[in-house]
Amino acid sequence: MIVDSAIYRDGHRVAGPSDLSDALDAARESGDGFVWVGLFEPTAEELELVSAEFGLHPLAVEDAVTAHQRPKLEQYEGSLFMVFKTIGHHPDGHAVSTGELMLFTGDSYVVTVRHGADSPLSGLRALLEREPELLASGPVSVLYAIADLVADGYLDVAATLQAGLDELEAEVFAPGRPPTGSPSGSTPSSAR
């Protein structure tokens, strides 16, 4: 499903046509604009509609529909296709969850495709809209911001896992803690 679609000109979100091909034409006519379409777990039909409007490469579109891709960067004539593996905390707090984020970029467009709950882009889009000088760089600014978001997700999960390991280590090696694996904390006879 299309989560958000907008035209950006000089780093600012501007009103424009809701039809994707008309929006792309408007962005190209201005010379300094681009369209950003965000999709979440689209069906093959939804992605095919976007593909037809933006001229996305069929192999990349196939990868974006099926998901389960390895991280990669592929260059097609006039466009790039990038796959990121996302990571986050599972809602139960005891596990790590993963997802995928795909990105198509071209001369006047960015199409993002998310699979999984990790790395929602609404907050990132809002952040970029508050930094028009960065967003004015065009589609590459979105690619940069997404790569940064994904890397931060890995660092956040790594820090949480490290804190858990530190806590476990402190518990296991606490002074006065009885040895584990033997009844009543006594030392096994083979260790005497």
Per-residue pLDDT reduced to its tens digit, 5-34: 899 999 999 988 888 888 888 888 878 899
| Fold adopted by 2-172 | Beta Polymerase; domain 2 (3.30.460)
190 token code pair: 């083979």
Query: Is residue 114 a contact partner of residue 120, using CB atoms and an 8 Å limit?
Result: yes
The domain limits of the chain are 2-172
Residues 122-145, mean pLDDT to the nearest whole number: 91
Distance in angstroms (rounded) separating the CA atoms of residues 24 and 108: 7
Query: Is residue 82 a contact partner of residue 72, using CB atoms and an 8 Å limit?
Result: yes
Per-residue pLDDT, 8: 92
Distance in angstroms (rounded) separating the CA atoms of residues 151 and 92: 22
Per-residue pLDDT band for 120 (boundaries 50, 70, 90) equals confident
Distance in angstroms (rounded) separating the CA atoms of residues 77 and 32: 21
Distance in angstroms (rounded) separating the CA atoms of residues 148 and 143: 9
Burial bucket for residue 134 (CB in 10 Å: 0-12, 13-18, 19+): middle
Distance in angstroms (rounded) separating the CA atoms of residues 182 and 174: 17
Locate tokens 């198509």: which residue? 104
132 token code pair: 């028009």
Looking at residue 72, its amino acid is: K
Per-residue pLDDT band for 175 (boundaries 50, 70, 90) equals confident
Per-residue pLDDT reduced to its tens digit, 54-89: 999 999 998 898 878 889 999 998 899 999 998 877
